[in-house]
């Protein structure tokens, strides 16, 4: 069994393109996400409720460049979706009633100059309003009037950044590290399925069975070899982002449990895919496509919070969703008890997939 696993590792890491996928690409992407934060090409900001009292005041501060106005009943959801899909740098929602908070939408992973401009404007308005209140409180009415004359006539504004909730409110590099870990762990697993397809086509798989070793141990070797690949990929990203990008992964025990379980899911999917496909090229094509689609559906490419409701439900059928969900909790300081539900789901999925993979594989080998 160990011999088989070791052989899988040796062959996987001897392939240059696999080395690129494992050691280079994830970090290139994390770097790109880091660099692009705050410098996205998109500068336009969406505005909902421009004619409300607060809207008029803040827009004076913002200037009117690069704004897109939304009206009507669906204004808020339209603007939010435009932000979520990257067509706007951010959006700001002014309430009808003065007492209600100004809300604004801005994605941590998709920050931009436009979003920064939005932040600055809101802060400025707040600061001036605050200053005027302070001057009044101190009985320095003249100075308060000065502040007012400087253009600030509204009370303190309460703001909420909707985007702060996305990906558990993690910052850019943390959320990038998290999502890339999930995406690439699964991708590494699925690309390792090619070896299995090759073995089947070349007759090697059959040949393993002529050895005096029970079939289940051969199958176990095939699964464990892939588990080592996926775990290594996950561990590599976790450790490297912790060291080089200062990402705080939280409780090592809880994070480790999530990562290893997710790696096991990826390894079983790898064996399943490798058993179902006949041509190595199809395994690569299906593997990469499936890894990307599941990552997108599961919220590893864009935050789940901006998904339409149906998609949010569909997301729950991907292992990625549960892994991301669990990791956002552990990275925000949660322990193993806080992610028990997610771990349970991942464990159940792992057990089901491992069982299926072992049975399918065994049946295939000993027709």
Partner 1 sequence: MTLVVSRLRRSFGDRVAVDDLSLRIDDGERYGLLGPNGAGKTTAISMICGLLRPDAGRIMVGDREVTTDAVEARREIGFVPQEIAVYGDLTAAENLRLFGRLHGSRGAELDRRVAETLELLGLAGRAHDRAETFSGGMQRRLNIGIGLLHRPSLLVLDEPTVGVDPQSRNAILDAVERLAADGMSLLYTTHYMEEAERLCDRVGILDEGVMIAEGSRRELVAELGQLDRLRLSLDRPVDEEVIRSAPGVADAVFDGVNGEVSVDDARHRLTALLAAIADQGAAVRSVEVIEPDLEAVFLHLTGRALRDGGA
Taking CB under 8 A as the rule, which mask of x and - marks residues 159-198 in contact with partner 1?
----------------------------------------
Q: What's the full length of the chain, in residues? A: 367
Per the structure block, which two tokens stand in for 83?
A: 């932000």
Question: Which residues does residue 70 pair with via DSSP β-bridges, in sequence order?
Answer: 48
Q: Measured from the CB atom, is 11 or 136 closer to partner 1?
A: 11
284 interacts with partner 1 by CB under 8 A:
no
Taking CB under 8 A as the rule, which mask of x and - marks residues 210-249 in contact with partner 1?
xxxxxx----------------------------------
Q: How far is the CB of 4 from partner 1 (least distance, A)?
A: 8
Number of residues that bind partner 1 (CB under 8 A): 22
Find out whether 266 and 188 touch, Cβ atoms under 8 Å.
yes
367 interacts with partner 1 by CB under 8 A:
yes
DSSP class per residue in 28-64: HHHHHHHHHTT--S---EEEE-TTSHHHHHHHHHH-S
72 interacts with partner 1 by CB under 8 A:
no
Find out whether 65 and 117 touch, Cβ atoms under 8 Å.
no
Phi and psi of 225, rounded to 5°? Answer: -55, -45
Q: How far is the CB of 232 from partner 1 (least distance, A)?
A: 19
19 interacts with partner 1 by CB under 8 A:
no
Q: How far is the CB of 344 from partner 1 (least distance, A)?
A: 35
Identified binder of partner 1 from the candidate list 207, 252, 341, 344, rule CB under 8 A = 207
Number of C-alpha atoms within 13 angstroms, CB side, residue 321? 18
Whole-number Å distance between alpha carbons of 164 and 89:
14
Q: How far is the CB of 224 from partner 1 (least distance, A)?
A: 15
Find out whether 350 and 265 touch, Cβ atoms under 8 Å.
yes
Q: How far is the CB of 365 from partner 1 (least distance, A)?
A: 8
Q: Measured from the CB atom, is 51 or 363 closer to partner 1?
A: 363
Whole-number Å distance between alpha carbons of 206 and 193:
17
Span near partner 1 by CB under 8 A; candidates 8-16, 86-94, 150-158, 336-344: 8-16
Number of C-alpha atoms within 13 angstroms, CB side, residue 69? 11
Whole-number Å distance between alpha carbons of 344 and 348:
6
State how beta strands 102-105 and 90-93 pair: antiparallel
Taking CB under 8 A as the rule, which mask of x and - marks residues 90-129 in contact with partner 1?
----------------------------------------
Find out whether 234 and 262 touch, Cβ atoms under 8 Å.
yes
The owner of tokens 């932040």 is 119
Q: Measured from the CB atom, is 12 or 321 closer to partner 1?
A: 12
Q: How far is the CB of 244 from partner 1 (least distance, A)?
A: 31
Q: Measured from the CB atom, is 18 or 173 closer to partner 1?
A: 18
208 interacts with partner 1 by CB under 8 A:
yes
Find out whether 58 and 125 touch, Cβ atoms under 8 Å.
yes
Number of C-alpha atoms within 13 angstroms, CB side, residue 311? 14
Identified binder of partner 1 from the candidate list 160, 202, 244, 281, rule CB under 8 A = 202
Identified binder of partner 1 from the candidate list 14, 16, 97, 278, rule CB under 8 A = 14
Q: Measured from the CB atom, is 136 or 362 closer to partner 1?
A: 362
Write out the residues near partner 1 by the rule CB under 8 A: 3-4, 7, 10-11, 14-15, 202-204, 206-215, 366-367
């Amino acid at each position: 069994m160990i011999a088989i696993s070791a052989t899988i590792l040796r062959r996987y890491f001897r392939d240059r393109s696999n080395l690129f996928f494992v050691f280079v690409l994830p970090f290139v992407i994390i770097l790109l996400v880091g660099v692009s934060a705050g410098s996205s090409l998109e500068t336009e900001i969406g505005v909902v409720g421009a004619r409300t009292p607060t809207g008029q005041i803040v827009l004076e501060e913002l200037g009117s460049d690069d704004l897109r106005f939304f009206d009507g009943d669906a204004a808020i959801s339209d603007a939010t979706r435009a932000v979520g899909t990257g067509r706007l740098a951010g959006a700001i929602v002014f309430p009808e009633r003065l007492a209600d908070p100004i809300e604004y939408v801005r994605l941590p992973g998709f920050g931009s100059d436009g979003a920064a401009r939005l932040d600055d404007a809101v802060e400025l308005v707040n600061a001036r309003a605050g200053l005027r209140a302070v001057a009044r409180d101190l009985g320095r009415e003249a100075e308060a009037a000065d502040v007012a004359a400087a253009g600030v006539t509204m009370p303190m504004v309460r703001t909420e950044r909707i985007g702060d909730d996305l990906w558990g409110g993690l910052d850019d590099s943390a959320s990038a590290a998290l999502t890339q870990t999930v995406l690439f762990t699964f991708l590494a697993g699925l690309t390792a399925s090619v070896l299995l397809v090759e073995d089947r086509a070349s007759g090697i798989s059959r040949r393993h069975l002529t050895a005096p070793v029970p079939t289940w141990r051969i199958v176990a070797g095939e699964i464990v070899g892939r588990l080592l690949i996926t775990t290594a990929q996950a561990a590599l990203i976790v450790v490297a982002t912790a060291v080089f990008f200062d990402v705080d992964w939280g409780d090592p025990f809880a994070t480790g449990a999530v990562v290893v379980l997710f790696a096991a899911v990826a390894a079983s999917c790898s064996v399943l895919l490798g058993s179902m496909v006949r041509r190595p090229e199809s395994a690569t094509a299906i593997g990469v496509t499936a890894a990307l689609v599941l990552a997108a559906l599961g919220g590893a490419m864009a935050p789940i919070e901006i998904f339409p409701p149906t998609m949010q439900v569909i997301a729950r059928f991907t292992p990625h969703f549960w892994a991301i969900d669990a990791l956002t909790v552990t990275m925000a300081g949660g322990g193993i008890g806080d992610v028990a539900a997610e771990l349970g789901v991942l464990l159940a999925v792992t057990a089901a997939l491992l069982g299926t993979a072992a049975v399918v594989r065994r049946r295939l080998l000993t027709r």
